[in-house]
Amino acid sequence: MQRVSSKLKSWWQQKNSAKPLNTQAVPEEIMHLFRLRREHSLLQARFNGVDDVFQSLLLEVDLEQNQLLLDEPFPHRFPVQYWVGRRIVVSTSEGGLATRFESRVSASMGLDQGNALVLEMPRSIMAAQRRNSFRVAVSGRMPVDAVVRVPEQGNLAARVLDLSASGIRLAIPGELDALAQDTRLALRLGAETPLVSQLSVRYMQPSQQEQDCTEVGAQFTGLNSSQCKVIERFLVRMQRSQRQRELEAGLV
């Protein structure tokens, strides 16, 4: 633990002169990464092409550069450059809280007390204490069509980026007029069984996944039991599909 504290102290001393970030709405999944860093959570790291499981720490969540900084994986069995370009699966389970995300190592860098890996910001983060808190990324292989009715802008086609039993993240083509937090939207979700629901906006920003789109994160409101079951069935199917792809890719 002393090594952990000194490493984090050294890193933050190097960051003292950094400019503060502009205030902006940050998705809950990204806020969870900040909690992992703040609590010094011990992470498990797996890399494609390597059977061993390594341990690491999250040193920084960089929203300006859209990247993460991860302590050099321990034990140090390979040179730090060995990891650059590899896919990585990061997970942890402490105190009943499970976290898991995938990324790619884009670079390495030296610190005063060791080395670190630079990771691309993950597109989806599964962080949950209860099953209905998990968010499942929706791949292009299993698309889910959606139509959103936006106040004074009409019905707009949207692509579902990820989904949980309590919320959804959408990419809507074009630039939307600003939507205040808690703005109510109507949603028609074309999953296995079409679903109509009300949404409450949590944030909106230019999409980093879909070109020329606006990303909207929202919470479901007023779901009845049958609607919840429709979403639960879809989440289970998506998780099984993701697990199968991971097995085929040798990442688990």
Per-domain boundaries in the chain: 2-129, 133-245
133-245 CATH: 2.40.10.220
More confident residue, 236 or 223: 223
d(CA 196, CA 190): 9
Fold of the CATH domain 2-129: Pnp Oxidase; Chain A (2.30.110)
Sign of the alpha-carbon dihedral angle for 74, 54, 130, 237: positive
Alpha-carbon torsion angle 203, 123, 13, 80, nearest 10: 180
Q: What is the pLDDT of residue 41?
A: 81
Report percent pLDDT > 90 for the chain. Answer: 27
Assess contact for 168 and 199: CB atoms under 8 A.
yes
User: Which of 15-19, 23-27, 128-132, 190-194 has the lowest average pLDDT?
Assistant: 128-132
Predicted confidence band of residue 242 (pLDDT cuts 50, 70, 90): low
